[in-house]
Amino acid sequence: MAMNPATISAISALAGSGIGALASVTTSWLTHHFQSRAQRIGQEATRHERLFSEFVDQASQTYADGLVHEQLDEPTKLVPLYATINKLRLFATPDTVRAAEAVLEEIVATYHAPASALKVKNRNVAAHDILHSFAESCRTELKALH
Protein backbone atom coordinates (compact mmCIF):
# COMPACT_ATOMS: atom_id res chain seq x y z
CA MET A 1 0.00 0.00 0.00
CA ALA A 2 1.42 3.32 -1.07
CA MET A 3 1.25 6.35 1.17
CA ASN A 4 0.09 9.69 0.04
CA PRO A 5 2.93 12.27 -0.01
CA ALA A 6 0.78 14.61 2.11
CA THR A 7 0.41 11.90 4.77
CA ILE A 8 4.16 11.28 4.78
CA SER A 9 4.76 15.03 5.22
CA ALA A 10 2.27 15.23 8.09
CA ILE A 11 3.75 12.20 9.87
CA SER A 12 7.26 13.61 9.38
CA ALA A 13 6.18 16.97 10.80
CA LEU A 14 4.56 15.32 13.84
CA ALA A 15 7.60 13.12 14.43
CA GLY A 16 9.90 16.14 14.15
CA SER A 17 7.76 18.09 16.60
CA GLY A 18 7.77 15.17 19.04
CA ILE A 19 11.52 14.77 18.83
CA GLY A 20 11.99 18.54 19.28
CA ALA A 21 9.72 18.56 22.33
CA LEU A 22 11.51 15.55 23.82
CA ALA A 23 14.89 17.22 23.25
CA SER A 24 13.64 20.42 24.90
CA VAL A 25 12.26 18.57 27.94
CA THR A 26 15.46 16.52 28.25
CA THR A 27 17.64 19.62 28.01
CA SER A 28 15.57 21.42 30.65
CA TRP A 29 15.68 18.42 32.98
CA LEU A 30 19.47 18.01 32.57
CA THR A 31 20.07 21.73 33.14
CA HIS A 32 17.93 21.71 36.29
CA HIS A 33 19.58 18.50 37.54
CA PHE A 34 23.12 19.84 37.15
CA GLN A 35 22.22 23.24 38.62
CA SER A 36 20.64 21.56 41.65
CA ARG A 37 23.67 19.32 42.06
CA ALA A 38 26.07 22.28 41.86
CA GLN A 39 23.97 24.17 44.41
CA ARG A 40 23.98 21.19 46.82
CA ILE A 41 27.74 20.81 46.49
CA GLY A 42 28.19 24.55 47.09
CA GLN A 43 26.01 24.43 50.19
CA GLU A 44 27.87 21.39 51.49
CA ALA A 45 31.23 23.09 50.92
CA THR A 46 29.98 26.20 52.74
CA ARG A 47 28.80 24.08 55.68
CA HIS A 48 32.20 22.35 55.85
CA GLU A 49 34.06 25.66 55.66
CA ARG A 50 31.95 27.14 58.46
CA LEU A 51 32.48 24.10 60.69
CA PHE A 52 36.23 23.96 59.99
CA SER A 53 36.55 27.66 60.73
CA GLU A 54 34.57 27.26 63.96
CA PHE A 55 36.92 24.51 65.11
CA VAL A 56 40.03 26.53 64.24
CA ASP A 57 38.74 29.53 66.21
CA GLN A 58 37.80 27.46 69.25
CA ALA A 59 41.01 25.42 69.22
CA SER A 60 43.17 28.53 68.87
CA GLN A 61 41.52 30.24 71.82
CA THR A 62 41.66 27.13 74.00
CA TYR A 63 45.28 26.44 73.07
CA ALA A 64 46.26 30.01 73.97
CA ASP A 65 44.48 29.57 77.30
CA GLY A 66 46.40 26.33 77.85
CA LEU A 67 49.70 28.10 77.23
CA VAL A 68 49.10 30.57 80.05
CA HIS A 69 47.58 28.13 82.54
CA GLU A 70 49.40 25.14 83.98
CA GLN A 71 46.26 23.16 84.64
CA LEU A 72 42.77 22.84 83.28
CA ASP A 73 40.88 24.63 86.02
CA GLU A 74 37.57 24.63 84.12
CA PRO A 75 36.92 21.50 82.06
CA THR A 76 33.98 23.32 80.48
CA LYS A 77 36.54 25.16 78.34
CA LEU A 78 36.84 21.96 76.30
CA VAL A 79 33.10 21.44 75.77
CA PRO A 80 32.86 23.60 72.61
CA LEU A 81 35.76 21.65 71.09
CA TYR A 82 34.14 18.31 71.89
CA ALA A 83 30.86 19.54 70.42
CA THR A 84 32.53 20.75 67.24
CA ILE A 85 34.48 17.51 66.81
CA ASN A 86 31.22 15.61 67.06
CA LYS A 87 29.70 17.89 64.43
CA LEU A 88 32.73 17.14 62.27
CA ARG A 89 31.97 13.43 62.66
CA LEU A 90 28.64 14.06 60.93
CA PHE A 91 30.10 15.67 57.80
CA ALA A 92 33.89 15.46 57.63
CA THR A 93 36.13 12.66 56.45
CA PRO A 94 37.72 10.33 59.01
CA ASP A 95 41.14 11.92 58.31
CA THR A 96 39.84 15.37 59.22
CA VAL A 97 38.18 14.04 62.37
CA ARG A 98 41.44 12.31 63.41
CA ALA A 99 43.34 15.55 62.82
CA ALA A 100 40.83 17.43 65.01
CA GLU A 101 41.15 14.81 67.75
CA ALA A 102 44.95 15.18 67.61
CA VAL A 103 44.54 18.94 68.09
CA LEU A 104 42.34 18.33 71.13
CA GLU A 105 44.91 15.92 72.57
CA GLU A 106 47.65 18.52 72.09
CA ILE A 107 45.53 21.16 73.82
CA VAL A 108 44.90 18.90 76.81
CA ALA A 109 48.62 18.06 76.96
CA THR A 110 49.41 21.79 76.89
CA TYR A 111 47.25 22.37 79.96
CA HIS A 112 49.13 19.65 81.82
CA ALA A 113 52.64 20.64 80.67
CA PRO A 114 54.87 22.51 83.10
CA ALA A 115 55.78 26.06 82.16
CA SER A 116 59.43 25.07 81.55
CA ALA A 117 58.38 22.63 78.82
CA LEU A 118 56.58 25.44 77.05
CA LYS A 119 59.66 27.65 77.21
CA VAL A 120 61.62 24.98 75.35
CA LYS A 121 58.79 24.68 72.85
CA ASN A 122 58.72 28.48 72.41
CA ARG A 123 62.10 28.34 70.67
CA ASN A 124 60.49 26.55 67.76
CA VAL A 125 57.54 28.67 66.64
CA ALA A 126 56.34 25.96 64.23
CA ALA A 127 55.88 23.63 67.20
CA HIS A 128 52.98 25.81 68.31
CA ASP A 129 51.17 25.32 65.00
CA ILE A 130 49.01 22.50 66.31
CA LEU A 131 46.37 23.17 63.64
CA HIS A 132 48.63 22.62 60.62
CA SER A 133 47.63 18.99 59.95
CA PHE A 134 43.98 19.79 60.58
CA ALA A 135 44.09 22.69 58.11
CA GLU A 136 45.78 20.53 55.46
CA SER A 137 43.15 17.84 55.92
CA CYS A 138 40.40 20.45 55.59
CA ARG A 139 41.95 21.82 52.41
CA THR A 140 42.12 18.32 50.90
CA GLU A 141 38.52 17.64 51.84
CA LEU A 142 37.27 20.92 50.37
CA LYS A 143 39.13 20.29 47.11
CA ALA A 144 37.49 16.87 46.88
CA LEU A 145 34.05 18.48 47.21
CA HIS A 146 34.55 20.67 44.15
pLDDT tens-digit profile, the chain (146 residues): 667 877 878 888 888 888 888 888 888 888 888 888 888 888 888 999 999 999 999 999 999 888 888 888 888 999 999 999 999 999 899 999 999 999 999 999 988 887 655 555 555 555 678 999 999 999 999 998 87
How do the residues of the chain divide into helix, strand and coil, expressed in percent and rounded to 5?
85, 0, 15
21 found inside a domain: no
11 found inside a domain: no
Domain count along the chain = 1
**Domain of 107, in residue numbers:** 43-145
23 found inside a domain: no
Instruction: State pTM to two decimals.
Output: 0.72
114 found inside a domain: yes
65 found inside a domain: yes
36 found inside a domain: no
Query: Quick count: other Cβ atoms within 10 Å of Cβ 87?
Result: 15
24 found inside a domain: no
